[in-house]
Chain A
Amino acid sequence: MSDNGDARYGEPTLVKGNEAICEGAIWGGCRYFFGYPITPQNQIPEYMSHRLPEVGGVFLQGESELASINMVYGASAAGARVMTTSSSPGISLMTEGISYLVASELPAVLVNVTRGGPGLGNIAAAQSDYNQATRMGHGDMPMIVFGPNSVQELYDHTAWAFQLADEARAPVLILADAVLGQMMEPMRPRIDDHPPAPDKPWATNGCKGREPNVVNSLYADHDDMETVNLRVRQRYAEASKRCLRWAEHQTDDAELLLVAYGTSARVCETVVTRLREAGTKAGLLRPVTLRPFASERIGELAEQARRVVVVEMNMGQMVDDVRLAVNGRCPVDFTGRTGGNIPSVEEILTAINEHSPVAG
C-alpha cells in the first residue's frame, strides 16, 4: 500500500511492530483504548497509555479481557473510534464480547498478537489462531481479518481498519504474531489526513432532539434475528469486495504454488528464490486479508500449477481454505511447525522435496 513515490507517506523511520499498530490506530482516528496486559503485545497498551492523552484520547487498563472488550463495546456504542489488543488466550476471553459487537452492529478494531498455544502456551510467534480468527464467535458472525507480514502493513492495516469498521458497522481483526509485534523495520507514516468518520445516528449518547436509540443483540423473534444476521452479512459482503487483498511473488509461470501469510510468507519468499535457483518454477501467493480470502485467485493459479504447498506456523489451518479454493484442480500439501516454532527455509524445502506433511 505504500511505496517511495506515494505522497501520502512521510520519511521512513525504524519502528517496532507493536508501536506501528499504535501509530496506525491514531492516524486512523482511534482515541480510546481499553486493554489488559498479556505478552507479547504489552508495548501496545504501554505506548497508548502515554500517546493517547497527547491527542486528546483516553487509555484505560481494564481489570480483565472480559471487562476490556465490554468497555470497547460501550465506547463504540457511544460513537467512538476504539480498539483493544490482546494475545491468544486473551482473545479467547474476548470472543463473547466480539460476537456481541457483531450482533449489535458496532465497529471496533481488534489486534491479536498471536503466541504459541493451546492453553497458556508460550510467548513465541505462531499462526495457530487462524481458525479462531476466521471462524470466530458463537452465532452466525462474519468478521474481516487482516494478516499483515511487515511493520508497514501492521501500520497500514490498523489505520485502514477503523474506516472499514465504521463503514461495515462491524469489528475488524488484525491477526499479527509475536515476531511481527516485536521486530523493528523501516516504516513510513501517513502524513495526509485520515478520511472523516461517517455519521453515527445510531449511537447511544443521549437522545436530545431525537427518539431514544437502543444498542442490542437480543432478538427473541427468530425472524428478527435472521433479518439482523442477513443485514450484517450484507455489510460484510460489501466491505469484503472493497478490502479483499493478496500479494503475488513470481506466480506468472508458477508450477509449484506456495501459499502462506504473515511471518511464514516471509520465509517462503526465500524458499521461492531457492527453488527457482534449483530450476523449479515456484511462486508465492500471500493472502493479505484472511477473511475475505483470495479463493478465486488461488483457484486461477491452481489451473496452471501442478502442486500447491501451504506453509503455516501451525499444524494446518489455512490449508483447509486453500483446498476449498483449489477445489481438486491439483494436489494441495501442507507443511508447518507448531508450538511457537517458525519453519526454516531448509525445513520447507525438505518437506516440499519429500512430500512430507509436517516438517521438523
Chain B
Amino acid sequence: MAEAQVVFTPPESLSDTLMHYCPGCTHGSLHRLVAEIIDELGVRESTVGICPVGCAVYAYNYFEVDMIEAAHGRAPAVATGVKRVRDDCTVFTYQGDGDLASIGMGEIVHAAARNEAITVVFVNNGVFGMTQGQMAPTTLIGQKASTAPAGRRPEHEGFPVRVVEMLNALEGPTYLARSSMASPRWIRDTKKKLRNAFKAQTEHHGFGLVEVLSSCPTWWGMTPKEALDWMESTVVDYYPIEEFRALPEGDTEGE
C-alpha cells in the first residue's frame, strides 16, 4: 500500500475556527490569501493585524497572528501606532468599504500620504454588510441598498468613490492596485497583488494597498453565482482592475 502523502495543508497563519461569513461571501477566500502570503514571507511571528468594524470585525479569531480590533475606520491610525513603536513588525489592516471609505476616509488618506509602512487589504463589496445592507460610499449608481431602496441616485447620494484612483493622486504610497475575487483567475491575480502590497512594506518600507472587489450575495439579493457574475459584468466597469502604482522597477508580480 502506498504511503499517504500530505499534499495540501491550511496556512499556518489561518486558524481552524469556523468562520461566521455568509454563504457565497468572498471574505473567507481572501483571509486565506492573506494568511498564505504571511506564511510565504515567513513573517507570521512578527505580524500584527488590525481588523475593522464591519463584517471582518471577528478577523482576530481567524488569523493566527497578533491581532488588534480597531474602532470604526481607525485601523490605519492604530496600525501607524503599532508600526512606529515596532518597526520590525509586519503590520496590516483588513478593512471594508464602510470602514475605510466612509468613516475612515481621513485615516486611510493620511496613512497613504505618509507612505506609512503598512499593508492595507481593502475589501470593496459596495455595501455595509454587518449592519444589514445599507448604502456604502462605493455603492454603484442604481444599486439598491437598505438605505437607498430605489437605488443610488447621483443627484441625491452622489457618486461612488474610487478609492485607489484617489489615493493614486498622492505622492506617498509605494504600491496601489485593484483586484477582484470574482473567479479563480482573478483570485490568483489578487494574491499576486496582495504579495506586492506586503512587499511594499517588508522590502521597501512603504505603504501598500489592494482594493479587492468582493461579493455580498446576502445584501445584493443574489445567489453566490449571480453575485460573482455581476462583479464580472458590471462592477468592474466602474472599478477597473489594474495595478495603479507598481513596486519600484524589477520587483513586482502583477499579472
Q: Is the CB of A80 within 8 A of B85?
A: yes
Per the bound structure, the CA–CA distance linking A76 and B86 in Å amounts to 11
Closest A residue to B64 by beta carbon equals A212
Residue interface bits A41-69, CB-to-B below 8 A is 1, else 0: 00000000000000000101011101110
Judge whether B35 is part of the interface by a CB distance below 8 angstroms.
no
Closest chain B residue, CB of each to CB of A73 = B78
A206: interface (CB < 8 Å): yes
Q: Which residue of B lies closest to A34 (CB)?
A: B81
A32 to B85, CA, bound (A): 8
Given contacts A66-B77, A206-B88, A207-B44, 11 further A-B contacts (CB under 8 A): A58-B85, A60-B80, A60-B84, A71-B84, A73-B71, A73-B81, A74-B79, A74-B83, A77-B82, A78-B48, A205-B66
Partner of A96, one of B45, B71, B79, B85: B71
Bin chain A's interface residue count: 35 or more
Residues of A within 8 A of B50 (CB): 74
What residue of chain A has the Cβ atom nearest to residue B63's Cβ?
A: A212
A–B pairs, 22, beta carbons within 8 Å: A66-B77, A67-B77, A70-B78, A71-B78, A71-B80, A73-B68, A74-B78, A74-B79, A78-B48, A79-B85, A82-B85, A96-B71, A204-B68, A205-B82, A205-B86, A206-B66, A207-B64, A212-B64, A212-B65, A214-B68, A215-B68, A218-B57
A residues with CB within 8 A of B: 32, 34, 58, 60, 62-64, 66-68, 70-80, 82, 96-97, 100, 104, 204-209, 212-218
Interface centre among A58, A75, A104, A208 (most CB of B within 10 A): A75
The complex places the Cα of A153 from the Cα of B66 at a distance, in Å, of 38
The complex places the Cα of A77 from the Cα of B60 at a distance, in Å, of 14
| Smallest CB gap from B61: residue in A | A214
- Asked whether any CB of chain A lies closer than 8 Å to the CB of B25, the reply is no
Chain B nearest Cβ from A160, distance in angstroms: 22
B67 within 8 A of A: yes
Say if the beta carbon of B191 comes within 8 Å of chain A. Answer: no
Q: Does B107 contact A (CB under 8 A)?
A: yes
Instruction: Choose from A58, A62, A70, A204 the contact partner of B71 (Cβ within 8 Å).
Output: A70
Nearest chain A residue, comparing its CB with the CB of B47: A206
* B178 in contact (CB, < 8 A): no
Chain A residues in 8 Å Cβ range of B45: 206-209
CB of A205 within 8 A of CB of B81, answer no
Residue-wise, chain B 33-72 has the 8 Å CB interface mask toward A (1 for contact) of 0000000000011111010000001101001111111110
We find that the number of chain B residues with CB closer than 8 angstroms to chain A is 35
A72 to B67, CA, bound (A): 16
Closest 5 pairs (CB-CB, A-B): A74-B81, A70-B77, A75-B81, A74-B78, A70-B74
Which residues of A have CB within 8 Å of B67? 204, 212-216
- Within B195-231, the residues touching A (CB, 8 Å) are none
**Given A73-B70, A205-B89: A216 in contact with B77 (beta carbons within 8 A):** no
Which A residues lie within 8 Å of B77 (CB)?
Answer: 62, 66-68, 70-71, 73-74
Main secondary structure of the interface of B (DSSP, over half): helix
> Given that A63-B106, A71-B84, A96-B71 are contacting pairs, would A207 and B78 also be in contact in the complex, using a CB cutoff of 8 Å?
no
Which A-chain residue is minimally distant from B13 (CB atoms)?
A: A212
Q: CB distance A77 to B68 under 8 Å?
A: yes
Is there contact, CB below 8 Å, between A214 and B69?
yes
Is there contact, CB below 8 Å, between B70 and A206? no
Q: Which residues of B contact A76 (CB under 8 A)?
A: 81
User: Is the CB of B188 closer than 8 A to any CB of chain A?
Assistant: no
Taking the complex as formed, is B192 at the interface, i.e. its CB lies under 8 A from any CB of chain A?
Answer: no
Which of the listed residues B60, B64, B86 has the most CB atoms from chain A within 10 Å of its own CB?
Answer: B86
Who on chain B is nearest to A211 by CB? B64
The answer to whether B60 and A216 touch across the interface, beta carbons within 8 angstroms, is yes
Alpha-carbon separation in the docked complex, A78 to B83 (Å): 8
- Smallest Cβ-Cβ distance to B91: which chain A residue: A74
Nearest CB in chain A to that of B58: its residue: A218
Residues of A close to B70: CB separation below 8 A: 70, 73-74
Closest A residue to B116 using CB positions: A60
Q: Which residue on A lies nearest to B103, using beta carbons?
A: A66
Chain A residues with CB under 8 Å of B245's CB are none
Interface core residue of B63, B79, B80 (most chain A CB under 10 Å): B80
For residue A212, which residues in chain B have a CB less than 8 angstroms away from its CB?
63-67
Q: Could you say which of B64, B66, B69, B85 contacts A217, with CB atoms under 8 Å apart?
A: B69
Instruction: Determine the distance from Cα of A158 to Cα of B82 in the docked complex, in whole angstroms.
Output: 23
Determine the chain A residues whose CB is within 8 A of the CB of B60 once the complex forms.
214, 216
B69 and A215 contact, CB distance less than 8 A: yes
CA distance A209 to B88 in the complex (A): 16
Which B residues touch A96, using CB under 8 A?
71
- Chain B contacts with A in 91-148, Cβ cutoff 8 A: 106-107, 109-110
Shortest CB distance B32–A (Å)? 17
Most chain-B CB neighbours within 10 Å: which of A63, A68, A100, A204? A204
Q: Is the CB of A77 within 8 A of B81?
A: yes
In the complex formed, the residue of A with least CB distance to B90 is A206
A78 interface neighbour in B44, B63, B86, B110, Cβ under 8 Å: B86
Report how far A205 CA is from B43 CA in the complex, Å.
Answer: 12
Residues of chain B with a CB closer than 8 A to A79's CB: 85-86
Q: Is the CB–CB distance between A208 and B46 below 8 Å?
A: yes
How far, in angstroms, from A214 to B60 measured CA to CA in the complex? 7
